[in-house]
């Protein structure tokens, strides 16, 4: 039985005229100028939203660097005191914004946390050094509950039994960020708190 209007495809037939059949000829389609402009516009909108967030994240990086560096300095001082079996000091020069982890000198007879001069050559070398980024400063510094922000040089002592002096420092960035770092004197472990 033959149906009118439909014919069977033959071996040389390309399928043109049969609904749903694919053509063997490739059809090429290009983007129009309007479509390209729309895509470029969408990319520009996405970038304008992403760039301020990226810049803001970069501006907050100095506080992160300072915070991580100070936490690492405390952890290094604690570890060195335990490994060496001797007192190790975290020496701070608040006016220079520097922190150095140094084995305690033989002549270190002053009270823990009191202001001390820098060690003389040969008295001990720094195990770890940190200078705060220029965008970060010291808002508050206390050792054994004494405010020492204006001192020339101070030291936090870490003991071989895993204890330390009481230590609190508040860092402030130019962007108004405040981070408070404290040492637990029983375990000599540092922790931080976001104040703003």
Q: Which residues of 16-46 are buried (b: 16+ CB within 10 A; e: fewer)?
A: eeeeeeeeeeeeeeeeeeeeeeeeeeeeeee
β-pair type (178-184, 189-194): antiparallel
Cα 4 to chain centroid distance, Å, stands at 77
Cα 134 to chain centroid distance, Å, stands at 16
Q: What is the pLDDT of residues 18-46, one digit of tens each?
A: 555 555 556 677 889 898 999 999 998 88
pLDDT at 48: 86
Q: Which CATH architecture has domain 65-194?
A: 3-Layer(bab) Sandwich (3.55)
pLDDT at 113: 43
Round to whole Å and give the CA distance between 113 and 119.
15
Angle ∠(89,156,170) on CA atoms, nearest 5? 130
Biggest alpha carbon–alpha carbon distance for the chain: 116
pLDDT at 15: 53
DSSP 94: T
Could you state, in order of their start, the residue ranges of all structural domains in the chain? 65-194
pLDDT at 59: 58
Round to whole Å and give the CA distance between 159 and 103.
11
Do the Cβ atoms of 158 and 90 come closer than 8 Å?
yes
pLDDT at 13: 55
Low-confidence ranges of the chain (pLDDT < 50): 106-123
pLDDT at 85: 92
Round to whole Å and give the CA distance between 196 and 134.
19
pLDDT at 70: 93
């Amino acid at each position: 039985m033959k149906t009118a209007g439909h014919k069977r495809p033959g071996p040389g037939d390309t399928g043109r005229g049969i609904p749903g059949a694919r053509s063997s000829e490739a059809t090429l389609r290009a983007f129009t100028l309007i479509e390209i402009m729309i895509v470029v516009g969408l990319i520009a909108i996405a970038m304008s939203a992403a760039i301020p967030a990226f810049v803001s994240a970069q501006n907050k990086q100095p506080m992160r660097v300072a915070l991580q560096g100070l936490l690492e300095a405390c952890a290094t001082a604690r570890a060195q005191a335990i490994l060496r079996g001797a007192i190790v000091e975290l020496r701070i020069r608040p006016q220079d914004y520097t922190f150095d982890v140094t084995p305690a000198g033989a002549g270190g007879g002053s009270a823990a946390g009191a202001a001390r001069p820098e060690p003389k050559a040969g008295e001990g070398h720094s195990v770890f050094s940190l200078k705060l980024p220029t965008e970060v400063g010291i808002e508050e510094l206390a050792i054994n509950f004494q405010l020492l922000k204006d001192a020339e040089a101070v030291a936090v002592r870490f003991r071989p039994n895993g204890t330390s002096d009481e230590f609190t420092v508040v860092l402030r960035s130019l962007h108004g960020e405040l981070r408070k770092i404290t040492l637990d004197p029983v375990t000599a472990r540092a922790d931080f708190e976001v104040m703003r």
